[in-house]
């Protein structure tokens, strides 16, 4: 399922230009990919050249909610605070983007995983309620757009994304004189990048491209 509301050429977002959704003012558009997670919400922002059809990643980030570690704090209060911080990060990343692509999470048999699912879907609903249209992509579509197979591991997704976009600021650290990638952050950023590719491959986005190019 893909969000058709993102095709509305009159759509504007508070704080953005009112010139219209497709009036980019240049031959490039700003795109944003998001990989929702309760503790590690991956974000990727880039520019897409409408002439060459090439993507350049300009920013990578992960929103990690900062929560109280006190034993007296209820779990539902922590989840509520997580949702608040995740929404702020997701909204800020989408600000100014002409197209937003989101890997929408799926349910799980685990009660705790379902709680995470509920918070993430709630955050996405809040984005839409605040006039942020986005294209929905599935986890399978993201893996196929990235490493090219449904069973891609996080290491394979990271390797694909780093090879595809060496210009991006991937998180690294030095250990014993070697420069290593921080997989804990990079896996979510890689999925956010792949969400952009998966979203751009959708029929809905391809329909939108001629309108953007003509603006």
Spatial distance between the Cα atoms of 6 and 32, rounded to a whole number of angstroms = 13
Q: Is the pLDDT of residue 7 over 50?
A: no
Spatial distance between the Cα atoms of 31 and 189, rounded to a whole number of angstroms = 14
Burial (0-12, 13-18, 19+ Cβ within 10 Å), 53? exposed
**pLDDT value at residue 25:** 52
**pLDDT value at residue 14:** 35
Kindly report the pTM of this predicted structure.
0.86
**pLDDT value at residue 71:** 72
**pLDDT value at residue 11:** 33
Q: What's the token pair of residue 104?
A: 């929408």
DSSP class of residue 33 equals E
Q: Domain limits of the chain?
A: 4-214
Higher pLDDT, 69 or 57: 57
CB 196 within 8 Å of CB 31: yes
pLDDT (average), residues 139-153? 97
Which neighbouring-strand residues pair with 179?
A: 174
Burial (0-12, 13-18, 19+ Cβ within 10 Å), 174? exposed
Q: Is the pLDDT of residue 17 over 50?
A: no
**pLDDT value at residue 26:** 64
Number of Cβ atoms within 10 Å of the Cβ of 93: 23
**pLDDT value at residue 107:** 78
- CATH class for domain 4-214? alpha beta
């Amino acid at each position: 399922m893909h969000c058709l509301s993102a095709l509305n050429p009159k759509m504007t977002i508070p704080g953005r230009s009112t010139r219209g959704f497709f009036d980019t003012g240049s031959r490039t558009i700003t795109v944003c990919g998001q990989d929702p997670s309760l503790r590690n919400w991956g974000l990727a922002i880039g520019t897409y050249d409408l002439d060459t059809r090439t993507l350049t990643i300009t920013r990578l980030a992960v929103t990690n909610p900062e929560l109280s570690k006190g034993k007296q704090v209820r779990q539902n209060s922590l989840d509520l605070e997580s949702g608040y911080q995740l929404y702020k990060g997701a909204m800020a990343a989408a600000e100014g983007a002409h197209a937003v692509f989101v890997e929408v999470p799926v349910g799980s048999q685990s009660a705790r995983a379902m709680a995470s699912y509920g918070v993430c879907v709630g955050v996405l609903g809040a984005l839409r309620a605040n006039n942020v249209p986005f294209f929905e992509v599935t986890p399978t579509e993201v893996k196929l757009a990235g490493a090219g197979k449904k069973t891609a591991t996080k290491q394979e997704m990271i390797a694909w994304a780093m090879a595809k976009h060496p210009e991006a600021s991937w998180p690294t650290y030095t250990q014993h004189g070697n420069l290593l990638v921080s997989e804990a952050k990079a896996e979510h950023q890689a999925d956010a990048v792949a969400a952009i590719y998966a979203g751009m491959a959708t029929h809905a986005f391809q329909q939108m491209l001629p309108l953007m190019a003509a603006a």
